[in-house]
Every structure is written in structure tokens, then in C-alpha cells.
Structure 1
Amino acid sequence: MRETTKPISQQKWPVVTAWVIIGIVTVGFLIAIFFTPVNNAMRSATGADTPADAVVKSQLIKRVEASKTGNAATDAKINQAVSKLKTTKMSTIMSAADNQQKMSQLLNADTGLSQKQSEAATSVIFNNTQYKQLRKAVAGGHWVQAYQAYQQLSDNGAISNLKNSVSE
């Protein structure tokens, strides 16, 4: 009986498929590793928000809008903060996360908080070590780490404490 063999082109497909899959996984891994530096380099080179910044900012805006209370005065301040946030570059927010005076000025200008309230908020944020991880992540443009730090602060009540200290 005669032995039939597959043509050479059919024998190569499993090898080619394996290399393609390995290549895709490698590229995905490299993107994951170098995402933050590339994103920060794009921001520095263009001076504008990157697509990742736009996503982060839209999520931040959603969170701020979700805090509306139904009180007309409070909601007007929230609307003002949202409109200012939409026009504020992420590079400005990042530099404020690493400088207490800049953060106080940014909060005062963009949120409707008084100068006294802005200073109180930044004092808490910069003098309490539990906010350090969030500040450093935002200052470095590490959005996943910033989100994780924010979630941790929300879970342990630190965000609520900050809001209460500002409103006092």
C-alpha cells in the first residue's frame, strides 16, 4: 500500500500559526510593559491629552457628575467643576498631584471650593500618608495604579473623610 503524505504547505501551517500566536502575545506583553512611558512621551511631545488621558478624564467626569445631590447650589458647583475639568489638561493635573501649592490653586480655580477649603483639602492630601500612593500614581501618569489607590481609599473611608474635612 502506498503511504500518502500531506503536501509541505499543509505541514507548515501549525508552525506558522504557533509563531503568529507567539508574536501577538509578545507584542501584547510589550505594550502592557511600555504603555505608561509611551503614553507619557506622547503627552510630552504633543502637549495635548492622549487617548488614554481622554478615557481617564471621561471616567473622572462620570464620577464627579454622579456625586450630584439634587441641591441646586451644590449641583451648580459640580457642573462648574465638570466643565473646568473637561478643559484642564491631564499634564496640569499630573503636575498638581506632585505640588501642594499647584493643587490648591487648581482646586480653587476649577472646583468652586474657596481658597480656605482648597488649602484644607490639599493639606489633608499632602500630609496624610494614605493619599501618597494615589498622588504619586497620578503625578506619574500611572492610571491603573491611580484607580487601584482610589478604590482602596474609597473602601477604607478616606475619600469620605476628605470630603467631610473640606465641608467643615
Structure 2
Amino acid sequence: MADDAIAAMTAGDILMLQMEVPADTVGYAMKAAREKGVVTIFNTAPFTADVPRLAALADIVVCNETEFELLVGSKLDDASQRRDALLRLHRERGQTFVLTLGADGAIAIHDGEIIQAKSLKIEPVDTVGAGDTFCGYLAGSLEQDLDLEAAMRRAAVAGSLACLAKGAQTAIPEAGRVDGMEGSAS
């Protein structure tokens, strides 16, 4: 199946993967995508022992705070330590890292620059699926040629809106609603 999906892709397309499929399949797909010039986004959830090895293969790595600490191998007590860890990993690997921060939005390192995106100020009903919503909107926005900063803003708004309803898939907001709320992120 990975072969069929990647065969249909062309250079510059986006392939997003996460750990709810076998690790060997994820690794195979990332390597095949790279050979074709396909941009790979790897969501480290759910974090397993295979994640550090697989994360090294991706162009863009997306983690939540807990997963990022597991990836770097240490507890990060504040925003300064997270920023330092992002900078260090980026310098070592040359990859883009996106770190979701819940109510605090998201932070990333890309091409040596720190990028931040704010989430909406909300009273969450259910946070299940917020990370998946963020990742889906991030990948979709990049596929639509938004730059990383704009894609992160859109994804942070979508992730916030997903917290306003119960459930995972049923809470994913429609694009029109997300786009209408982008200016409200503070």
C-alpha cells in the first residue's frame, strides 16, 4: 500500500505519517518518499521506542510537549529550555521541528528561525483529536502552498476549534470555520 500511495505522488507533494501504523511501514514510506522528493511530516504520536529512529528520517517532525521531551531525552522545565532544545536539534539534524503547546499554540524551528503560532482562547470541552486536527491542517495548508508560519497559525486555530466539541473525527472543524477564525488567535 505504501508503494501505491507514493507512486501516485510527485516531488513537492506532502506525505504525513504517524505511529498508528507499523514502524517498519512508516520507515519504508519515508525513505521511498525522500527518494521521490516528497516532503515528509512525521507526527511522533503515539510515542514508541521506534520514534527517535523514524523522526530522524522526516523533513518535518511534529511533537507535543511530552513527546518532545522523550525525543530529546530530558525534562524541559520552561519555554527557554524548549527553545534551546529546538535550536540544538535543528542545528544537529537540519530538520524542521514543530512543537504543539496546547493552549499556548505552537512553536517551530525552520531554516534557523523560530516561528510561533497562537491558539484561540477557549474553554475546552474535549481535547481528544486536537493534535491530529493540528497535524492534518498543517499538512493540508502546506500542500496548499502556505508557508510554515501561516500553516501553523491555521493548524493552531483548527486544533483549538476541535476542542470545542466531543469526539475526535466529529470535532474536526470545517475549513471555512477555521479560516474565519484565524484573526482571532491571540
- After TM superposition, the score normalised by the length of structure 1 is 0.30
Give the structure with the larger strand fraction.
Answer: 2
Give the structure with the larger helix fraction.
Answer: 1
